[in-house]
Amino acid sequence: MPDRTVQIAVPRPLHAVYDYAVPEASPLPEVGARVRVPFGNTNVIGICTSNSVDSPHPKLKAVTEVLDYGSAIPEELIDLAKWMSGYYHHPMGEVFATVLPVAARKGASFEIDPPDSWAATHIEFDNKRAHAQRSLLDYIRENGPTAGADLVEAGYRRETLRKLVASGHIEAALPESTHTAEQPPQPSKAQADAIEAIKSAIGRYHAYLLEGVTGSGKTEVYLRAMEPVIAAGGQVLVLVPEIALTPQTLKRFQNRYASVGMMHSNLTDHERLQTWLKCRAGEISVLIGTRSAVFTAFSKLGLIIVDEEHDSSYKQTDGLRYSARDLAAKRASALSIPVVFGSATPALETIHNSDRGRYTRLELPSRAAGASMPTYHVIDTRGQSLRDGISNELHHVIRKHLDNRGQVLLFLNRRGFSPALLCTSCGWQAMCPECDARLTLHKQPRQLMCHHCGLRLEVPEACDECGHLGLIPVGLGTQRTEDAVAQRFTDVPVYRIDRDTVRSNAQLEARFDKINTGAPAIMVGTQMLAKGHHFPNVTLVAVLNADAGFLSGDFRAPERTAQLIVQVAGRAGRAERPGEVWIQTWQPQNPLLNRLIEKGYRGFAELELAERRKMGLPPARPMAMLRAESSNPGEALELLGKLKSQSSNLECMGPVPAPVARIANRSRFQLMLLADNRSVLHTALARLSPGKIPRTLRWSIDVDPYDSL
């Protein structure tokens, strides 16, 4: 019967929704409820999209189980999911699966755990043989109400905890708040103006670009702007690009506000679900999270902040290829609340929106507390003999800063010891057997590694082609730079910070604690060092190779390179000591580099935007990328050729091989589509019909792609 039929979106790459019968004994689920249904030879958990179906399919399978009779997903997020499905041309079931936390997709209960915090009772403990229980009880009495996780971290066992609970010596209790209302610093006039502007928009939609130089106090603007939201019982979502930034950002917000939560991929599935549920219940006032936190349910969301909004981490690059930055704006608009995009180096799309009046630009033109901006210097490396990537001039500059008790940061955005292993006899290079890419030489542990598919191989003693023993590393990576500076500057410690040395927040914090003692030191690192970290004693930042990005064929590469240079330069001179930035380049006459140094990032952005408009590229025109990959390259090319023939009203570039044409033995091709407006682009994308494709072939649509080459 129609009134006992529901439509379910299943988590499969299928654009249809499916009719199912609800047994008479079971209440009808609401729209947004999780429902377990038979699909093919298995059972899956889908989302109810309708419980009123006028013309159901004549042959219906029955719902296996209704997990939620009420909606698991708030109506606002259901609407957002539907919009995403249309905008990104992605199956609705997979969109819902992305919106829900992983544990929720697997059927976990939507119950908030009781507090896992324990306090001692007044009952005397007289079991002299239970030494472990006595020790734990004494610890709790000494420290006050303590979270169970903290007790485990302190070396106590859950079994001991349970015995004390059973005997009545400890009981569940709310943890003591560590929040202390700190005295905030006095804002500058520019900060005060920005704060008042954002506060004035509370309760209505308004988008702001908070453009402030590095160290200008953007976080203080965020903290003060959210005051009226929190005071009125509302909630704030703060998006950050990296897990590495979450702990230090969390501390600043916890020092100002009592109820602050985190959402990032280092948490367990259960922990993420608990945070999601607490936000939905209104128990968390401020949520700080990475990209997927944009899908968190809230009871009274009043403000969204996107910190370092230019960062590529906000773009999901597989599956549902969404932009968390763009979804933040969409969600704020739907909820009629303000959204703030903060950056020292805004994305050109954001600047474009500001220039068109869609976003209001707020400026913080100077550093907080009167700190000076760093000075820029260029080292022309043409005709010079570089030793492990460092010129003689740069060597002397490093030495001078160390002698003056400063710290030095060497920036090189390439991991490993060397990007290539070469035979000096025949020119053979160590290549990944499964990818069209060179293997990177790593020294600790000593191995060859593919940074695309993750393959690891032993380092050969002789050339695979001619048997020659003369294999040499070519090119520069962070490991090689670390070794080189450690040998040349033996009087100071050298800290390498990249994905190979830092795999957890604890490791990162431990390394930063050593650096922030203030003693002279050298840091060698990748873009991990460019993102928001505060090093008050760094007086020199050196960019070892600024040319690769400016000379790339990817039209977005100059923008990314300029952002990295400015961001990493911003680590210098953050306290009372002035900072210097030295840039090594083979092309000192490069107009983009010179514009960046002479006119700052804004001057660079104006020049680059003009070039994009001239070329008809984003953000002047919308773009989508069609990608196909297969173990049979002919299949992928044939599919993209067919889709190109269906896109005659668009400007098409390709199909061409992807920059890395083969990964894990699968050939990869791409087709770039451009239109004069979004309506034309989306209409064309909606009409694409690949037909029946082989199982070995995968293809995808990427709207507003970040990687375009």
What gap in Å lies between CA 572 and CA 539, rounded to an integer?
5
66-70, 172-176, 391-395: least confident range: 172-176
What percentage of the chain exceeds 70 in pLDDT? 95
Contact in structure between 669 and 636 (CB atoms under 8 Å): yes
pLDDT single digits (tens) 627-649: 999 999 999 999 999 999 999 89
What percentage of the chain exceeds 90 in pLDDT? 59
Closest CA to 184 of 273, 255, 117: 255
What gap in Å lies between CA 581 and CA 565, rounded to an integer?
9
**Where is pLDDT greater, at 524 or 418?**
524
130-144, 279-293, 504-518, 655-669: least confident range: 504-518
What gap in Å lies between CA 150 and CA 131, rounded to an integer?
20
Query: Treating both helix axes as pointing N-terminal to C-terminal, what angle do 557-569 and 591-615 enclose, rounded to 10 degrees?
Result: 140
**Where is pLDDT greater, at 2 or 213?**
213
Contact in structure between 315 and 321 (CB atoms under 8 Å): yes
Instruction: Give yes or no for a cis peptide into 619 (omega within 30° of 0).
Output: yes
What is the model's pLDDT at position 485? 92
Highest mean pLDDT among 57-71, 305-319, 404-418: 305-319
pLDDT single digits (tens) 233-276: 999 999 999 876 656 677 788 888 888 888 988 788 998 999 99
What gap in Å lies between CA 84 and CA 90, rounded to an integer?
8
Contact in structure between 326 and 191 (CB atoms under 8 Å): no
**Where is pLDDT greater, at 495 or 155?**
495
Tokens of 568: 């990493």
Q: Is 17 exposed, middle or buried (0-12, 13-18, 19+ CB in 10 A)?
A: buried
What gap in Å lies between CA 39 and CA 47, rounded to an integer?
13
Phi, psi of 612 (to 5 degrees): -65, -40
What is the model's pLDDT at position 569? 85
pLDDT single digits (tens) 179-195: 556 678 889 999 999 99
What is the model's pLDDT at position 182? 65
What gap in Å lies between CA 303 and CA 285, rounded to an integer?
11
Highest mean pLDDT among 277-281, 440-444, 704-708: 277-281
What is the model's pLDDT at position 1? 46
**Where is pLDDT greater, at 117 or 522?**
522
pLDDT band at 46 (very low <50, low <70, confident <90, very high): very high
Contact in structure between 18 and 7 (CB atoms under 8 Å): yes
Bridge partners for 172 per DSSP:
118
What gap in Å lies between CA 396 and CA 218, rounded to an integer?
35
Closest CA to 288 of 356, 238, 358, 337: 238
**Where is pLDDT greater, at 393 or 422?**
393
What is the model's pLDDT at position 57? 78
pLDDT at 380 over 90: yes
What gap in Å lies between CA 421 and CA 473, rounded to an integer?
5
What is the model's pLDDT at position 102? 95
pLDDT band at 460 (very low <50, low <70, confident <90, very high): very high
Phi, psi of 225 (to 5 degrees): -65, -25
pLDDT band at 339 (very low <50, low <70, confident <90, very high): very high
pLDDT single digits (tens) 71-84: 999 999 999 999 99
Question: What does the pLDDT average to over 480-507?
Answer: 83
Residues 6+ apart with CB under 8 A from 397: 540, 542, 580, 582
Tokens of 122: 């007044």
What gap in Å lies between CA 663 and CA 435, rounded to an integer?
4
What gap in Å lies between CA 353 and CA 70, rounded to an integer?
39
Contact in structure between 118 and 165 (CB atoms under 8 Å): yes
What gap in Å lies between CA 235 and CA 226, rounded to an integer?
9
pLDDT single digits (tens) 214-234: 888 999 999 999 999 999 999
> Largest Cα–Cα distance in the chain?
85
What gap in Å lies between CA 390 and CA 473, rounded to an integer?
16
Q: DSSP states of 492-543 as a string?
A: S-EEEESTTT--SHHHHHHHHHHHTT----EEEESGGGGSS---TTEEEEEE
What is the model's pLDDT at position 233? 95
Phi, psi of 562 (to 5 degrees): -60, -40
Residue with tokens 């929190």: 230
Contact in structure between 626 and 701 (CB atoms under 8 Å): yes
Question: What does the pLDDT average to over 526-531?
Answer: 76
Contact in structure between 531 and 242 (CB atoms under 8 Å): yes
Tokens of 287: 């949520």
Contact in structure between 214 and 569 (CB atoms under 8 Å): yes
How many beta carbons lie within 10 A of that of residue 194, not counting itself? 29
Tokens of 496: 């390498």
pLDDT band at 707 (very low <50, low <70, confident <90, very high): confident
296-310, 400-414, 504-518: least confident range: 504-518
What is the model's pLDDT at position 255? 84
What gap in Å lies between CA 364 and CA 214, rounded to an integer?
9
What gap in Å lies between CA 256 and CA 180, rounded to an integer?
7
26-35, 303-312, 477-486, 579-588: least confident range: 477-486
Residue 468 DSSP label: -
pLDDT at 688 over 60: yes
pLDDT single digits (tens) 72-121: 999 999 999 999 999 999 999 999 999 999 999 999 999 998 877 888 89
- The mean predicted confidence, pLDDT, of the chain is 89
Closest CA to 199 of 337, 299, 386, 24: 337
pLDDT single digits (tens) 354-365: 999 999 999 999
Classify strands 407-411 and 538-543 as parallel, antiparallel or unpaired: parallel
What gap in Å lies between CA 651 and CA 532, rounded to an integer?
39
What gap in Å lies between CA 317 and CA 623, rounded to an integer?
15
Residue with tokens 């003009």: 610
What is the model's pLDDT at position 2? 47
pLDDT at 154 over 80: no
pLDDT band at 709 (very low <50, low <70, confident <90, very high): low
Closest CA to 343 of 327, 320, 359, 319: 359
What gap in Å lies between CA 248 and CA 255, rounded to an integer?
11
Query: Which amino acid, 544?
Result: L
Question: What does the pLDDT average to over 586-605?
Answer: 93
Secondary-structure percent of the chain, ordered helix, strand, coil, rounded to 5: 35, 25, 45
Residue with tokens 């609705």: 92
Highest mean pLDDT among 322-331, 401-410, 510-519, 650-659: 322-331
pLDDT band at 66 (very low <50, low <70, confident <90, very high): very high
SS3 340: strand
What is the model's pLDDT at position 363? 97
What is the model's pLDDT at position 516? 82
